[in-house]
Structure 1
Amino acid sequence: MSFDYRGKSDAKNNAAVHSWHGGSWIRCLARFSWECRLLGLCSVFCATLLPSLLTEAIAQPAEMSPLQLETKIALGDVRGRIDHMAVDLKRQRLFVAELGNDSVGVVDLANRKLLQTITGLKEPQGVGYEPSTDTLYVANAGDGSVRLFEGNEYKPNGQIELGSDADNVRVDPAANRILIAHGSGALAVIDPTTRSKVGDIPVKAHPEGFQIDHDIGQVFVNVPDAHGIAVVDRASQRQTGKWPIPDHDANFPMALDPVRRQVLVIFRAPAELGVFSMTGGKLIATAESCGDADDLFVDMKRGRVYVSCGAGFLDVFEAKGTTYRRIARIPTVSGARTSLLVPELDRLLVAVRTNAAEPAAIWMFRPIP
C-alpha cells in the first residue's frame, strides 16, 4: 500500500512542541533564564534574546521528530474512554475498543476512513483478530463476555463467558490459542477452532498487559495488585515464577524485545520505563517516562521504544545495549493513552478520545527516518 502526506500540516501543528535530545536545550535555556533573574541580570539578552531562543528551541520543525503525524481518521460520534486496538493485516482494517461508547470501531486503513461501528457491547477493553478462522474477538469488562464476530461484515458468531472483567486479548498462532486476561487472576485459554474456553492459567491478581514469547513458550504477565511480573509456562498452563518490583507500582503496559531478550514495562507510580532481563528478571535499566501510560511498543527496525500516555504525550526512547535514552516527547491529547504499532505498515496508531477541540480519531504517525 502507499501512504500520502495529507497530514503533513497537522504534523507541524501538533508535533512541533517536542523535546530534542530529551529536552536538553529547553532545560538548559530555561535554567539560564532562571539564573538571569536570580542574579538580577536584566540585560537585553535576558529580556529579549533569551525568550526568542526559548521559542526557537521549543518549536523545532516537525521533520526533526522521530514520529511524523500523517493524518487523523475520525471515528464518528464516539464518547468516553478508548481502550486497546488490533489489526487485520490482510484487509488493512483496524479495530478500536471504544469502551466508554460500548462499541468497536472498524477503520479502513488503506482508505483512511471509518468503515463501520459494532454496537451493543458492554465496555469493550480488548480486541484481537484471529486470521486462521477469520474471527474478531472482543473482550468486555462490563459483563465478562467475549463476543465473536466473523471477519468481513462482522456479524455475531458466538460468545464465551469468562465471568468478570474480560480485558487484554493476545493471539498465539504458534500454539493455535487465544489468551484473554480476566477476573481476579487468570488468563483464559481459548481454542479458536472450536471457539471455546479450554483452560485457565491462574495468577495472583487481575492480569494487565501481558506478552507471549513464542521462542521459549513463556508468557510474561503484569500483575500490579500482586506487585510483580508473573512468568507463565504456556505448555503446562501454570505460573512458574514471579519477578518482584519493589519501589514501583501500577505496572500496566508491557512489550518484549526478542533480540535483546528483554521485557519492557511502564510503571505509573513513579512514571518510569523499566527494562528487565528475560532470563531471571533482573531490572537492568530505568528511564523517566510520561504519565498514565497504557501501551508501549518496540520498533525493532529502528531500535526505539514508543510509549503512549494519558498525560497527553508520546515518549520515544532510543535503545543502545542496556541503556534507554528519551529522544522525544511529542504532544497528543489528554487521555490518549492507547496505541498500536503495526510494523508491517510501518505506522504507529494512537487512539484519541473526543475532546473540546475535536472529535475522537485515530492519529496515524509515520516513524522517521
Structure 2
Amino acid sequence: MRTAIMAFAIAAMTQAATDVCQAADAPLIQVQRIPLENVRGRIDHMAVDIAGNRLFVAELGNDSVDMVDLKSGKATGRISNLKEPQGIAYLSDGDLIVVANAGDRSVRFFRAADLAPVGTVALGEDADDIRTDTAGGRVLVGYGNGGLAEIEPTNRSLVSEIKLAGHPEGFEIDRKANRAFVNVPDGRQVAVLDLRSGKQVSTWKFTSLNGNFPMARVGSGGPVAVVFRSPPKLVLLDPATGSVEQSVDVCGDADDVFFDGKRQQFYVSCGDGEIDVIERDANALKTIGNVGTSAGARTSLFVPELDRLFVAARAGWFESQAAILVFRPSP
C-alpha cells in the first residue's frame, strides 16, 4: 500500500513538473487572477491608467464599472447604477473615466480620483465602443444603428456625428491620416472615414466573410487586422485598398484582437474559452499557441507598456466568481 502511494505521488510530481514546463514554454503565461466581487453577467471592455496602475472594467450585465488596483490585485472602487456599460476609456488629461451605456443611450464622465460623476452626453441607442484621439483631444464613440460620435471631453459636448450603414463594432483611428477604420458587421463591410470632413470615403465589402467584430492596427501605417466570426478568421487588410494580404483560422466567438509589436504577434480572445496567439512574418500568419481561459471570456486588453494581457472572465456555471485573468507574454 505504501509503495503504491509513493508511486502515485511520484507520478503526480512528474505530471506537475511536465505541466510547469509546458506552461513555461507557452506564448502566454497566466501570472495573476484578480477577483471581481459580486459581479454577475457579461463583462465588456476595459481601459487602463498606466501611470496610476489602475484598470477599469465595464461590467455590462452588472450595471457597474470596477476600478482595480493592479499593484494590490484588488478592486478598490465601483461605479454602480449604470445602464449596460459597454465601452470605456481613461483620459489622463483630467483623470477622467468615460463610460458608454447602451441601456440609457448616454456617455458618462467620472473623476477617477473619487469616481464622482462630472457630466453626461446624450447619444443614440446602444452606445458601445470608445476610442480616444489623443492628437485631437476628442473621444470617439460608436452607437446606434449606424453612427460614430465625436465628443469634446472638456465641456462634455457632442461635436459631430458620422453616419454608417449599420451598428459599428471595433474601430481604429489612423491619427497620421486623420482617418478611422470601422467594422460594420450588419453591412458586411469596413467603413473608412475621413475625420476632417466627417464622411465615409471608402467601403471595403466582404461576400464570403461575416461577423467582423474586433479590429487592430499593425503599427503606424501597417495593415488593418480584422477578425471575422463566420468563418472564424484573422484577416490582414491593406490600409489603402482593403485587399486581403494574409489570413489564418482562429477560435470562435472572437471579441477582441491586439497586436504585440515587440513580438510581432496577435492575441485573439474568444468566447469559446481560449486565446489564440498568432505569429506574423512577411510570408504568413501562423498560430503558435492556444491558451485556455473560460467560456464567455471574450473581451481582453493588451497593454504594451505593462507587457500584460488582461482577460475578463465572467461568473458562470463553472466559474462561481468573475475575475480578471492576467497573462504575461513569453519570452
TM-score when normalising by structure 1: 0.83
Which residue of structure 1 aligns with residue 208 of structure 2?
A: 247
Which residue of structure 2 aligns with residue 321 of structure 1?
A: 282
1:299 maps to which of 260, 273, 278: 260
Which residue of structure 2 aligns with residue 97 of structure 1?
A: 58
The one-letter code matched in structure 2 to 1:364 is V
Which residue of structure 1 aligns with residue 240 of structure 2?
A: 279
Which residue of structure 2 aligns with residue 187 of structure 1?
A: 148
Q: Contact (CA 8 Å) 1:210, 1:219: kept in 2 or not?
A: yes
Bigger Rg over Cα: 1
Q: Contact (CA 8 Å) 2:194, 2:201: kept in 1 or not?
A: yes
Quote the offset at 1:133 in angstroms.
Answer: 2.1
Give yes or no for the alignment of 1:111 onto 2:78. no
Quote the offset at 1:111 in angstroms.
Answer: 1.6
Query: Which stretch shows the higher mean deviation, 252-261 or 210-219?
Result: 252-261
Alpha-carbon displacement from aligned partner over 1:254-312 (angstroms, at most 9, x marks no partner) = 00012561000110011111110111111111110000010000000100100000000
SS at match of 2:186: helix
SS at match of 1:63: helix
Aligned residue runs from structure 1 range 9-20, under 5 A: none
Quote the offset at 1:322 in angstroms.
Answer: 4.7
The one-letter code matched in structure 1 to 2:202 is G
Give yes or no for the alignment of 1:368 onto 2:330. yes
Which residue of structure 2 aligns with residue 157 of structure 1?
A: 118
Quote the offset at 1:323 in angstroms.
Answer: 1.6
Quote the offset at 1:134 in angstroms.
Answer: 1.7
Which residue of structure 2 aligns with residue 78 of structure 1?
A: 39
Residues in 2 aligned to 1:253 and 1:300: alpha-carbon distance in whole angstroms: 18
Residues in 2 aligned to 1:321 and 1:259: alpha-carbon distance in whole angstroms: 16
Residues in 2 aligned to 1:152 and 1:307: alpha-carbon distance in whole angstroms: 32
The one-letter code matched in structure 2 to 1:161 is A
1:212 maps to which of 170, 173, 182: 173
Which residue of structure 2 aligns with residue 331 of structure 1?
A: 292
Query: Which stretch shows the higher mean deviation, 128-137 or 118-127?
Result: 128-137
Q: Contact (CA 8 Å) 1:82, 1:338: kept in 2 or not?
A: yes
The one-letter code matched in structure 1 to 2:75 is L
Quote the offset at 1:76 in angstroms.
Answer: 0.5
The one-letter code matched in structure 1 to 2:81 is G
Q: Taking structure 1 as reference, are residues 83 and 223 closer, same or farther at Cα in structure 2, changes over 3 Å only?
A: same
Which residue of structure 2 aligns with residue 133 of structure 1?
A: 94
Which residue of structure 1 aligns with residue 7 of structure 2?
A: none
Quote the offset at 1:88 in angstroms.
Answer: 1.2
The one-letter code matched in structure 1 to 2:314 is R
SS at match of 1:87: strand
1:61 maps to which of 8, 18, 22: 22
Which residue of structure 2 aligns with residue 5 of structure 1?
A: none
Over aligned residue pairs, what C-alpha RMSD do you find?
1.5
Q: Taking structure 1 as reference, are residues 72 and 253 closer, same or farther at Cα in structure 2, changes over 3 Å only?
A: same
Residues in 1 aligned to 2:232 and 2:323: alpha-carbon distance in whole angstroms: 26
Q: Where does the alignment leave 5 or more consecutive residues of structure 2 unmatched? A: 1-16
Q: Contact (CA 8 Å) 1:261, 1:279: kept in 2 or not?
A: no
Quote the offset at 1:163 in angstroms.
Answer: 2.4
Residues in 2 aligned to 1:57 and 1:208: alpha-carbon distance in whole angstroms: 41
Which residue of structure 1 aligns with residue 222 of structure 2?
A: 261
Residues in 2 aligned to 1:260 and 1:192: alpha-carbon distance in whole angstroms: 27
Aligned residues: 314
Q: Taking structure 1 as reference, are residues 319 and 260 closer, same or farther at Cα in structure 2, changes over 3 Å only?
A: farther
Residues in 1 aligned to 2:151 and 2:235: alpha-carbon distance in whole angstroms: 30
Quote the offset at 1:59 in angstroms.
Answer: 9.1
Residues in 2 aligned to 1:324 and 1:358: alpha-carbon distance in whole angstroms: 36
1:359 maps to which of 309, 321, 325: 321
Quote the offset at 1:358 in angstroms.
Answer: 3.6
% identity of equivalent residues = 47
More strand by share: 2
SS at match of 1:178: strand
Q: Contact (CA 8 Å) 2:219, 2:261: kept in 1 or not?
A: no
SS at match of 2:280: strand
Task: Report runs of 4+ in structure 1 exceeding 3 Å deviation.
Answer: 56-60
Residues in 2 aligned to 1:190 and 1:259: alpha-carbon distance in whole angstroms: 24
Quote the offset at 1:57 in angstroms.
Answer: 10
